Amino acid sequence: MILNVNDYRDRVLGCWIGKNIGGTLGAPFEWRRQINDVKFYTQDLGGQALPNDDLDIQLLWLIALEEQGIELDAHMLSEYWRLYVTPHWGEYGTAKVNLRAGLMPPLSGSVNNVFKDSCGAFIRSEIWACVAPGCPAVAAHYALQDAIIDHGCGEGTYAEVFCAALESAAFVVRDIPSIINIGLSYIPSDSGVAKAVRHVIECYKSRKSWKEARNEILTLYRGMAVSFIPDAICLEDKARGFADGPLGWDAPSNIAIVIIGLLYGEGDFGKSVCTAVNCGEDTDCTAATVGAIYGILNGAQSIPENWSGPIGRSIKTACLNLGELGWYGNQLPQTVDDLTRRTESIGMKVTNASVRGIKISLADPTDLKGMTLDKLSGKDFEPVLKNYTTGPVFRSGFFEVHVNYGDSPVLVDGKKKIQVTVKNLYKVQENINFQWYMPNGWEVLPSSRGRIFLGVPAVQKPQSLEFVLNTSNNDKIMNRFVLELTMEGRNTVILVPVMLYSSYDPPKD
């Protein structure tokens, strides 16, 4: 697949300008459950966009790509998260607490996290689309590595994967319903995000108004309104029965509002971002995502000057550790133009590297012959999604190891069942020796050592091993283990960390 470089650059710039506009427009109305009547900015901006965490972490991911290379995974991204993401609220803070306690993605985003179904991941999806234009599979893979840090197995992860795939497809597909369907093909059809998106599509097809669509979404998919904002719920929405909802279950309704903005905006930039804001809820995030998608679809040249002029070209940050990112943050892009230039530089590396075996390229002239929607679909992505959301994944050379803790990494009555799956990624079969290293007083059943055979991937499926880690005298809060995998006659050594918490068992009556 070939995409014109100048066209690519214009769409990346459009993405970042649209993101800044939408986030700034929606900021004053964030997390208010009400129907708004916004037609333009309501603040005196002084020529600058407002700071917004929707963009901040994407700047951090850009730096991670520049420093570590394009083969990033959740483990490396989580190192940057722990060092540079400053907030302690919501899923951001819970992920930091879990990471500092030794839990790896996706456990860092799943354990004790009531916000794993919230909005903090899909708002940072654009960077992955922009470095993998026209290749939703690569963008979705990156987004998955990102989202599981603070959303684990939750709807928040599905939301980011959906957005990244949709946005990547938007570089080469100009039809909004088509890119929505491409995004849906990368997430489970029974997820809350997928159901809410399909509901909006049906509302639009049946000619219901955007207000009717919004009210139906909040009837079926709303989470809890933010309790610490005075009068967060308007009287009309209270009368509609929207005063309650599950805490943190916000991604399905807000992704649906993004789709409302795209469909009911009908190709008009101002109408699209304002419709998203006027639906209420997480307004800065929904409008910013709509603005970014519009920019990718239509390019920077399509965004009206009356919208881009008042905020200028500068970038403001809100939640990054500036003291460690150069001289008070000068390592970060300072303008959308600099951000575009650096994004393009990474995009060239990604698209010419055949990431995860998928080849795309950026060249002149434009040549999209042979590109079909089927080639962009995520029909084979569900096993990947399931693999990375059910436990930590470790890649080493020719092999991949997946550790599944089940419901949680917590001991019950001094025991825990662990499933370890070893996958051969290469064309040569191999005998794998395994050896557990444990603290004193522990045993592994059925055996702490042994050997398995991994056949050629085309012939044999990955090997899954089940172990029970057991102790009768545990005096530690955190218990650390190492599973060593070796091969006779080879210098390869794979060390897989496993961590278990001791549980608190309340007294029985």
Give the domains, in start order, of the chain with CATH numbers.
2-376 (1.10.4080.10), 392-501 (2.60.40.10)
Strands 361-362 and 2-3: parallel
- Order the strands of the 478-486 sheet from edge to edge: 449-454, 430-437, 478-486, 493-501
DSSP for 421-471 reads EEEE-SSS-EEEEEEEE--TTEEEES-SEEEEEE--TTTSPPEEEEEEEEE
Compute CA distances 256 → 34, 202, 210, 261, whole Å: 16, 12, 11, 9
Helix (H/G/I), strand (E/B), else coil: 45: coil
pTM of the model: 0.94
CB-based contacts of 183: which residues, under 8 Å, 6+ apart?
136, 162, 163, 165, 166, 169, 197
Closest Cα partner for 124 from 167, 88, 183? 167
Q: HSE-up of 440 (CA within 13 Å, CB side)?
A: 1
pLDDT at position 227? 64
251-265 vs 269-278: helix axis angle to the nearest 10? 150
Inter-residue contact 187 to 147 (CB < 8 Å)? no
Residue 283 tokens read as 């307004």
Length of the chain: 509
pLDDT at position 507? 56
Report how far residue 139's alpha carbon sits from residue 23's, in angstroms, rounded to the nearest whole number: 22
* Ranges in the chain, pLDDT < 50: 1, 355-370
DSSP alpha helix (H) spans, 69-175? 74-84, 90-100, 107-110, 126-131, 136-151, 155-169
Compute CA distances 457 → 320, 343, 489, whole Å: 42, 35, 21
pLDDT at position 271? 98
Closest Cα partner for 371 from 64, 10, 3? 3
Rounded to the nearest 10°, the torsion over CA 156, 250, 179, 377 is: 30
Closest Cα partner for 103 from 36, 150, 40? 150
pLDDT at position 474? 76
pLDDT at position 54? 87
Strand stretches in 363-414, DSSP E: 393-396, 399-404
CB-based contacts of 83: which residues, under 8 Å, 6+ apart?
321, 324
Strands 430-437 and 449-454: antiparallel
Model pLDDT for residues 90-131, shown as the tens digit of each residue: 999 999 999 999 999 999 999 999 999 999 999 999 999 999
